[in-house]
Amino acid sequence: TRIRNLKHEEEILPNSLFSTTPVVNVSRRGRVFRFNEMLQLEPGNVDKVAEVVKGFRAVLRKDERVIQSGVDVHRRVFIFEIKPEAIVVYTSFYIRAANLDAYYAAKESLLLAFT
């Protein structure tokens, strides 16, 4: 059986694999996209960065495009690493969008809201 993966590359799988392995049809699961970024903030007062992280969380709680609850859904914003050149903030959450262009537009507006 020939299928295409998420990168649109063709893969050939034996038919026996389909009888023993659950298969998820990603194209039919709905339009949910994962936002998963490491944001780098200017180093400075760590307390100020903690306030910025709280602000990020507040933006995510209020935005209706961000999926707030469900199975295997999360909203994560944490200080990931403190380096001399930057403070790295891990952000991961899911966005509901009609298509990829709508996802990119939502991602852009959320990134601008974080600044």
* 31-114 topology per CATH: Alpha-Beta Plaits (3.30.70)
Q: What is the pLDDT of residue 21?
A: 80
Domain ranges of the chain: 31-114
pLDDT above 90 for 115: no
Total-model pTM: 0.70
pLDDT in tens, 34-58: 999 999 998 877 788 888 899 999 9
Buried-state track 44-55, b at ≥16 Cβ within 10 A, e below 16 = eeeeebeebbee
